[in-house]
Amino acid sequence: MARRTRHAVLALLPVLALAATACASKVDTGSQVNGSGINLVQSGKLVTCTHLSYKPFQYSEGDQTVGFDVDLVNLVAKELGVNQEIFDTPFETITSGEVFNSNKCDLAAAGMTIKPERAAVIDFSEPYFDAEQALLVKKDSPVKGLADLRGQKVGVQLETTGEIYANEKAGEFGYTVVQFEDLPLMETAVRTGAVAAAINDNGVLYDYVKEYPDTAVATEFDTNEQYGIGLKKGNTALKAKVDEVFKKAKDSGEYDKLYEKWFGKKPAKK
């Protein structure tokens, strides 16, 4: 009898070991910040998902990621007593919520327009930046607007509001939309003549023409967009902290200083 019991116990050990491993795999490696109710995916870090490069909001400079969005989120990290860490990922993994559902990041700062279809799968902070769509062309281009692009190619960045706008107008103005994975590829396509023009947010395009004066912003389109910080659906504690920190920055003038640092002027409104 004792011998049979011993064999039964030994037989159970692999099962118990597997159960223990399964339980261990579910342990959250992050931590709660100072009893605030804010749980971070990595202890001591505020992990920010973005899609590089989107200058001047976030881009690489040497071995550092810098930009307006980076500086803003650094204010949140400082308030939490942690360091910001940037995680570069395809833009569509942010807008779909995949990066949050797989615990890759705490929030997303990617010059991202608040839109209903995005807000259905991720939460947004209060708006922190106003934007419009704009048309990038070569400096000597005769193109002044969409009406001049019939029969030609117009570049867009994949999964952006610029792509949405370009597709909405393509039938009316008779141009072909060409997708690019990221902003630099789209901008370069204009300079090389691979496309006649490109549509993207005005902030990044005005920054580009400063660096490349052989290009120009031909016109802007009144799309009344606002950027928000993306968060996992239901992450109310972190959303509240982001909103609180951004409001404090606007009230203190810190937001204006950062805006002027990256755009060369103060915001028209806060």
Q: Are 245 and 76 in contact (CB under 8 A)?
A: yes
Q: Are 232 and 122 in contact (CB under 8 A)?
A: yes
> How many separate domains does the chain show?
2
d(CA 203, CA 161): 13
Distances (CA, A) of 153 to 179, 192, 197: 10, 13, 7
| Six token digits for residue 28 | 């959250």
Instruction: Say if residue 110 is in the same domain as residue 169.
Output: no
CATH of the domain at 75: 3.40.190.10
Instruction: Say if residue 110 is in the same domain as residue 196.
Output: no
Q: Which residues contact 72 (CB under 8 A, 6 or more apart)?
A: 109, 128, 246, 249, 255, 258
Predicted TM-score of the model (pTM): 0.81
Q: Are 79 and 241 in contact (CB under 8 A)?
A: yes
Q: What is the largest CA-CA distance in the chain?
A: 95
Residue where the block lists tokens 């795999």? 25
d(CA 224, CA 35): 39
- 12 in a structural domain: no
pLDDT attached to residue 26: 33
- 26 in a structural domain: no
| pLDDT tens-place values along the chain, 270 residues long | 333 333 443 344 444 443 433 333 333 445 666 666 899 999 999 999 999 999 999 999 999 999 999 999 999 999 999 999 999 999 999 999 999 999 999 999 999 999 999 999 999 999 999 999 999 999 999 999 999 999 999 999 998 999 999 999 999 999 999 999 999 999 999 999 999 999 999 999 999 999 999 999 999 999 999 999 999 999 999 999 999 999 999 999 999 999 999 999 888 865
Letter for the amino acid at 244?
A: E
Beta bridge partners of residue 100, listed in sequence order: none
Beta bridge partners of residue 265, listed in sequence order: none
Sign of the alpha-carbon dihedral angle for 94, 96, 98, 103: positive
What H or E segment, with its residue span, contains residue 197? strand 197-201
pLDDT attached to residue 42: 95
Ordered alpha helix ranges (H), 137-182:
161-173
d(CA 97, CA 121): 6
- 18 in a structural domain: no
Half-sphere exposure of 116 (CA within 13 A, CB side): 0
Q: To 10 degrees, the CA torsion angle through 204, 94, 159, 234?
A: -110
Q: Are 153 and 186 in contact (CB under 8 A)?
A: no
- 173 in a structural domain: yes
Best CA proximity match to 180, nearest among 152, 218, 207, 153? 153
Instruction: Say if residue 111 is in the same domain as residue 143.
Output: no
Instruction: Say if residue 241 is in the same domain as residue 195.
Output: no
Best CA proximity match to 160, nearest among 247, 51, 259? 51
Name the residue range of residue 58's domain: 31-128+228-263
- 157 in a structural domain: yes
